[in-house]
């Protein structure tokens, strides 16, 4: 099973910012659920976050094995909208900073 997460950035391949600016929260909410306390909980597999000041989406690679349809949906969105996808190599101070 792949161990590195993927980061989908809010920048398109042509360098322009993707709109709407809350795209990562909207996409994450499609795989989120409400808990007993009526709070929305993002899936641990798809998390909106900020990387180097840019809104991004961190996608756990294990999602591909755990829920192929969800993985295909998220990656299809990124490809269809020509968003940049990279391997998450952050650690230490640059680790995940959720929104």
Is-contact 46 58, C-beta < 8 A? yes
Position 14 scores a pLDDT of: 95
Domain ranges of the chain: 6-90
What's the average model confidence in pLDDT over 49-72? 93
Number of H-type helices and E-type strands within the chain: 3, 6
Average of per-residue pLDDT values in the chain: 87
Q: Is the pLDDT of residue 73 over 60?
A: yes
Position 4 scores a pLDDT of: 80
Write down the architecture of domain 6-90 according to CATH.
Answer: 2-Layer Sandwich (3.30)
């Amino acid at each position: 099973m792949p161990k590195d997460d993927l980061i989908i950035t809010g920048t398109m391949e042509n360098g322009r910012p993707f709109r709407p600016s809350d795209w990562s929260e909207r996409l994450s909410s499609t795989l989120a659920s409400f808990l007993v306390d009526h709070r929305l909980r993002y899936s641990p597999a798809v998390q909106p976050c900020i990387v180097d000041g840019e809104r991004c989406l961190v996608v756990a690679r294990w999602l591909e094995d755990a829920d192929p349809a969800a993985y295909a949906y998220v990656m299809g969105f990124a490809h269809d909208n020509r968003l940049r996808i990279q391997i998450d190599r952050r650690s230490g101070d640059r680790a995940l900073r959720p929104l």
